[in-house]
Each structure stands twice: as C-alpha cells, then as structure tokens.
Amino acid sequence: MPSNKRARQRAGRAARMAELQAAQRRRRRNTRTIPIIGVVVALVVVLILVTGLNSGNSKKVSTTTSTTASATSQTTTAGATTVPTTASSKSPPTAPAVTAGSLSGPTPCPKFDGSSAHIIHFAQAPPLCITSGKTYTETIDTNVGSVTVQFDTTKTPNTANNFIVLSLYHYFDGTALFRTDTSIGIIQGGSPHTQSPSDPGPGYTIKDEGSGFTYQAGDLVMARTSAANSAGAQFFFCVTSACSNLNSQGTYVVFAHVTSGLPVLQKILSSNENTNSGLGGAPAQLTLIQKTTVTQS
C-alpha cells in the first residue's frame, strides 16, 4: 500500500509538471502573437490613414481642375464679350511704301489732264497753280469706293492749291488710309514713304490758313503736328459728329468738303480695328487710294 501511495504521488507530481509546462508553452505563444497582432493592427491603421489622405488629395485635385476650367471658360466668355481685338492678338494689314520720283529746284505747276509724272518728293513748296473764281473738285478712288470733295478756294486757297498740286502729281496714288479713330470720327492718310503717321512728308511744309476751326462730318482737313505751319501732305476726313471733339484745338485747317461718298468713309471707319497704337486703330481691311482725279470748272 505504501508503495502504491508513493506511485500515486509521483504520478500526481508528473501531471502537475506537465500541466505547468503546457501553461508555459501557451504563455510563450501568446507573447509572440500579441506583437504580431499589434503590428498588423498598426499597419491597418496606417493604411487607412494613407488611403484617406490620398482620397482627399484626389478630391482636391479634381475640385481644383474643375474650378480652373470654369474660370477659364468664364474668362474666355468675358474676353470675347468685352475686350476688342488688339495688336496683341491681330495686327492690322499694312501697305508697302510707294516708289516714285522726285523733283529738284522749284516745283512747276502740274498738268490738269493728269499726265504729270508720279512724284512724292519735292525740293520746294508749289506755287499757286489754281485760278481764282474757278471751282475745283477731286474724286478719290479707293478699293472700298469713291469719294468726291469740293475745295474751298476762297477761305483756304493755298491749302487747297497744295492738295490739288500733290494730287495732280499722283502723290496720293497707292497710299493707305492707315488710321481710323472712332473716338474723334476720323480717317487719316497721305503718307507714301512710310504708310504711317511718321511719314517725312513731301519735302516741305505750308503755312496755316487760319485757326479756331470747328469740325463736322464730311470735312477734309490737313493734319499737322502741334507746331504751327507744320502741315505738308497728311490729311484726315471727318466722318462722324465725333470729329467735333477736335473743336477745342481748332488748329487743323479745313480746306474741302465731301460732296459724295460719305457712306464709303463711314464703311471704312466702321471697320476700325483697335491696335493699341495710341492713335485709335486702323481699317480691318487694307484700304488704299488707287488714284485721284482733279477737275476744274
């Protein structure tokens, strides 16, 4: 019996030892599993956060793109509605310089039948070539249409004479009407050398015939600088009542008036294309004086 009792005790101790060892093994497994779970959980959390940020960036990019497109669309629409065409987007057409002859010494009176040579440079201003008491008209043929003017040889005989002489020497043939300005209702031309306001002129200037002029649609007027007696060949047509904005200056000599063809001038002016040149603009279509014809009666 004592022997059996000791055997049972040994068996009990062995069982308790085995249970203890099993418990230790379970604890070791649990110890390894917890960090792995923790790492997995941490990775999941990080993944969720990263996915959330990327999703947010994606939404922000999409929103920014949408906003930019909308703004661009609005800008384009506004531009098309409110901004006129300018030199920055489209340059007006230009004409080449005119090539013609020159005269040295005194200027002889040209032939009224139009057979005189084509001259664009003169050494001296012309003499008086028109006859007092006669009526002088001129037809200016352009590629848009014809305009006829009648000269005022009573108030401005010298200015009228100068323009008539230049015309009979075909000075204006091939020249561009290079400037249109709707703010003052004018069309300017008379520059064979440069087809621009910077033209050096015919080689001389003429004296101003009066001052305090007022301007109305249909007037043909000499252009000049701010200096007195500086007109030469450049001229402008007054096309609309806006030309009266020049009344405060009154220094540009009115020497003729349109008798027919004002609608042609209105058509040219209405094609004005803004060029940001500080001079209003230019015709959208290249507009040239093809020839001039002077008549006396």
Q: What confidence score (pLDDT) does residue 3 get? A: 53
Report residue 278 as tokens. Answer: 């500080």
Q: What confidence score (pLDDT) does residue 252 get? A: 98
Q: How far is CA 281 from the centre of its chain?
A: 9
Q: Return the closest-CA partner of residue 293 out of 270, 253, 261, 247.
A: 261
Q: Return the closest-CA partner of residue 142 out of 295, 283, 293, 287.
A: 287
| pLDDT < 70: residue spans in the chain | 1-90, 276
SS3 track for the chain? CHHHHHHHHHHHHHHHHHHHHHHHHHHHHHHHHHHHHHHHHHHHHHHHHHHHHHHHHHHHHHHHHHHHHHHHHHHHHHHHHHCCCCCCCCCCCCCCCCCCEEECCCCCCCCCCCCCCCEEEECCCCCCCCCCCCCEEEEEEECCCEEEEEECCCCCHHHHHHHHHHHHCCCCCCCECCEEECCCCEEEECCCCCCCCCCCCCCCCECCCCCCCCCCCCEEEECCCCCCCCECCCEEEECCHHHHHHCCCCCCCEEEEEEECHHHHHHHHHCEECCCCCCCCEECCCCEEEEEEEEEC
C-alpha–C-alpha distance, residues 190 and 199, integer Å: 9
Q: What confidence score (pLDDT) does residue 167 get? A: 98
What pTM does this model have? 0.70
Q: Return the closest-CA partner of residue 226 out of 249, 210, 256, 242.
A: 249
C-alpha–C-alpha distance, residues 212 and 209, integer Å: 10
Q: What confidence score (pLDDT) does residue 28 get? A: 57
Backbone angles phi, psi at 220, to 5 degrees: -110, 125
Q: What confidence score (pLDDT) does residue 61 get? A: 31
C-alpha–C-alpha distance, residues 156 and 151, integer Å: 8
For residue range 225-268, list pLDDT tens digits in order.
Answer: 999 999 999 999 999 999 999 999 999 999 999 999 999 999 99
C-alpha–C-alpha distance, residues 125 and 105, integer Å: 10
Distances (CA, A) of 126 to 123, 129, 205, 292: 9, 8, 10, 18
Report the top-level CATH class of 101-296.
Answer: mainly beta
Backbone angles phi, psi at 109, to 5 degrees: -65, 135
Every domain of the chain and the residues it spans: 1-83, 101-296
First-to-last CA distance in the chain? 169
Q: What confidence score (pLDDT) does residue 37 get? A: 44
